[in-house]
Amino acid sequence: MPQVEFHTLTEPGEAAQFERVCRLIEAAYGAGRRVHVHAASEALAHALDERLWSYDPVSFLPHNCVGEGPYPPPPIQLGWGEAEARNTGLLINLSDALPPWPLSRFDQIAEFVPAEEERKAQARERYRYYRDQGYAPTVQN
């Protein structure tokens, strides 16, 4: 059963979320893990794609959007909607809903609690879902 972590964001907007996401991706990649980011939209996935290219000028985080690029795919995949998660390891959910495929294929799931009040309720629903399914979600500030 995957370890589930909720990361609390104190500032609204993509910039604060992307900073935390990039750090999570960098740590996972540095540990030799594969990562799948499930974005809320194609536009969000492409915006994160651009951010990853400029995140740290001295590091390289090999990534692409699902369906683009080489085969086999790089260890960091960005997807949205029904795009199948092929990477296992860390799932980063940037959607206000749960992904449409089994979560059991991952060993860790990172969720976010946005600073915006209207989106916090959706994060709370996901937290309850995980807890009701027998996961033991933790909260990271």
Can you give the pLDDT at residue 135?
95
Which residues, other chains included, contact 9 with Cβ-Cβ below 8 Å and sequence gap of 6+?
16, 17, 20, 112, 113, 114, 115
Can you give the pLDDT at residue 120?
93
- Domain limits of the chain? 3-140
CATH architecture of 3-140: 3-Layer(aba) Sandwich (3.40)
What is the mean pLDDT of each successive set of 10 residues along the chain, which is 141 residues long? 94 89 96 96 96 89 90 92 82 94 92 91 96 95 85
Q: Any long-range contacts for 83-87 (C-beta under 8 Å, 24+ apart)?
A: 85/36, 85/38, 86/36, 87/34, 87/35, 87/36
Alpha-carbon distance values, 68 to 1, 4, 20, 72, 76 (Å): 30, 28, 24, 11, 12
